[in-house]
A and B are shown apart, each in its own frame.
Chain A
Amino acid sequence: MHILLPALVFLPMLGALISYLIGRKSKPGRNAFVCVLLTAECLLAVLGIYQAILGRELTFTWEGFAGLGLHFRLDGFRALYTLVAAFMWMMTGFFSPQYFAHYHNRNRYYFFTLMTLGATAGVFLSDDLYTTFIFFEIMSFTSYTWVAHEETPGAMRAAETYLGIAVVGGMVTLMGLFMLWHKLGSLAFADLQKAGETLDAKELYLPGALVMFGFAAKAGMFPLHIWLPKAHPVAPAPASALLSGVLTKAGIFGVLVTSCNLFLHNGAWGNVVLALGVATMFGGALLAMFSVDLKRTLACSSMSQIGFILVGVGMQCLLGHHNALAVQGTLLHMVNHSLIKLCLFMAAGAVYMNLHKLDLNDIRGFGRNKIVLHIAFLMGALGISGVPLWNGYISKSLLHESILEYVELLHEQGLSAAWYSATEWIFVITGGMTFSYMLKLYFALFWEKNAARQEEFDGMRKGYLRPLSIFALLGAALILPALGMLPSILMTGIAELGQGFMHGESPAHAVAYFSEENLIGAAKSLVIGAALYLGVIRPFLMEKREGARVYVNRWPAWLDLENIFIRSDFTQKYVCGCITAVSRFLDNLATSKFFYVIVPAIITAVTRCLDELMDSVAVLLSGTVLSKKKTPHLPPVGTRVTYYLGCALNAVARFLNRTVLRRHPLHTDFEYRLDVDKHEAGQTLGMLTRSVSFGLLLMSVGLFITCWYLLK
């Protein structure tokens, strides 16, 4: 059965190529192929979970792949999440043909969607961080195409942020992996756990935090969430469902790997995760309440729910050996959130593919009298709000109880639990906020009337969903109450299957999901939620315009962490500008004016000084010691000897001319004549010397030849 694991990963990747090739010939053929392939993948995942239920752990190793090799393992948790992923891909796959009917670049979409499925399966099946990282990176890059798919300026901007965070997150995680591997020599999860037990935790905090960074960014943890509320809404709805439902969980997978292995039962680590989780949970819910865009609300809600999950992770670390409830709560909330978001995003997709609008004021009233959409959305809303008998209630109760348990534990030890009591209250209030923003969406879509287009909306009652889409939507919706109504069979089973991965201990006794305490907790949240809806959303987040109440976005536009910290003028101009300026300076250092002008100028000056050093001595001497001495008389022609001799001869000649040679005077200028003669003599002598040496040379050649002849 080993082959099952690589099949789960590589089958969709192979399918991606095939679907692309088919898609170039026939669009319907490709759609059919994709649906069949996704169903096959889902069946393989069912086979996997069957093995896990039987208690078998499958492993698969591909030695040497990418250096350190691929290591897969299929245990309960991994089988479960592979199944969730495969199921969600299948359902969105059924929903896609109608959704994308009028889109361009569908081949590209399907290709990358299938690639992402394979990569995601790789992440969930991985058994060492190296494998996790490889597939995590592939997943990050292939899922980029989802966000950018529509190619509107907004989508491109969101995609840029998505990619930026993915690249930075990936590299930070990689730095953590470098350090961990250097310290431990292995990245296998089992070895990480051993290291957590044996090594000093202080040595592991930095690498662990770095590793978690990239995963937490993908999960949307505060303050790395900035990409999430922008990227999820601009993607096509089926992709949004997968981004929100599965890809965030791939991030959580990494968080779990560090928190439940490296920092198993480490309270300090737990506190940090808890604090970040609370901020994420509350911040996401707040953003969702203010949002007036259907998909943005759902995206912010995803962020908030990830916060709930992180609270569970933090509680696991804090509770140590009492972590049973926290582990089960975390696991179940992951599964529940995936399934709920599948349903809600597809419902949002059903709205968008008919109206091409997402603003609540534009789409209000669309859901009236549309029974399938109504059921689907309602199930999702009830599930996520934590209403008893729906699935979200179960996991939220477990998480809530785990906080209470820790508070009690601290009380028993006589320690202050104020901070954790406050956490509990924020938890309950956030649950209320969840209910309030879901009420906002629900009333807007299904009860309020659209002032302008209500008749048109009512006319779309038939044909707004194709049968395959209805199947996908209802299938996703009806699982939610099924899980919520049979918790002791389904939920407990799921929890027990997956808890081994997080090293959870089994609870001391069977969990009473519908205990009085849990029901009161849920009731508190629901009352707070209703109060928030009536007391905050309706009066403050809506206003009357032209006789109708409309939704207004009251979130201050400047309050956007991305715009404040990353895209602000300060960062772009000053920080980036400074770094660029320094780089430019260093780049031009060797060719700078300093080296090309100043240094040569200095060297020239120095050499000129040296050059004129002796001149200055001469000038000095001539000015002082030698100043009164006459410079020696230089002969105007020839050398001194020829000149004086010539002068003498000239005198003799003058004398002779006046006396003896009066008739035929000599006109020769001997000064000049002697010089010429001397010059000629010199030349003749030179020629003579050369001739002699040439002769000598020839003679020696001859001698050489003779010798050679003689000696041969």
Chain B
Amino acid sequence: MLQGHQSWVFENRPVIIGSAAIGGPFEAQGNLAADFDMLHDDLWLGQESYEKAEKKLLEQACETAIKKAGVKKEDIQFFMSGDLINQIISSSFTARTLGIPFLGIYGACSSSMEGLALASLMVDSRFAKLALAGTSSHNAAAEKQYRYPTEYGAQKPPTAQWTVTGAGAGVVAQLGEGPKVTAATIGRVVDMGISDPFNMGAAMAPAAVDTIEAHFRDLNVSAANYDFIATGDLGRVGHIIARDLLKKHGMDIPKEKLTDCGMLIYKDTQPVWSGGSGCACAATTTYGHFLNRMRKGELKKILVVATGALLSPMSYQQKETIPCVAHAVSIEM
């Protein structure tokens, strides 16, 4: 049901009955390695190209999530997925493998929560019994898509981020055991005039703040209602900006209640500059780490605000600024 201006409250409380996170070699050395269902030591995954490797990651995430949910893929009505590769091929090619009716979505790195919100909407409204949401990103494929060749020696500034190699997926059902999706807030596209593609954190922070503000307003809640609020991939730089921006807007969220998937996923010793990014950053952290902690009873209620930078390699060469979006999903155990 619509509540407020841009939020959905899921009265039937759709359940995430199975979820999976798959990671690459760099994620295996990270902070959350134990929460991944599968970790690959080869960036290529034995494939001929990075794009094929990314598709493989997403396939494995979907298959593992379905298996963990204890359902058959034939029982799932709809699959929603998005990624960063041109024409979202990782998602559509995975849909070809799965054979589940498919809706391709694109919200850049916010695709994880965009997919989960839409899957929950379908299930909550009884337009689906089971829906699958997934997303993926691959470090080298994203570098190739957005920046320079992987082996090109360009020096990155301290505001740059490291794209997560991985994929996450979740099966949403009407009934069952597991964390429940209770509400979602769809974000506006916000552009505060940042045009540096090596400074995504600063570009996306206002979008995250806008969505958090809208969520609090629409649902008449505050940070006190949540164990924590996790933004998708603002990194250390964007996190500080978001925190101060929230304070400026009169929402002083305590330090321990505001975190960021891009800061959680890697160790401080890993050379990732400002932190992790990419669709898989919020996806693997949520579908792996957060949901695992919820199932263990460590967390009761969280808000995941996945942030996405909606630029293209062409748009920034044409000197366009970077429009950003953030979608929030509230998950309760």
* Chains A and B form a bound pair: no
* Interface residues, chain B, with chain A CB atoms under 8 Å away: none
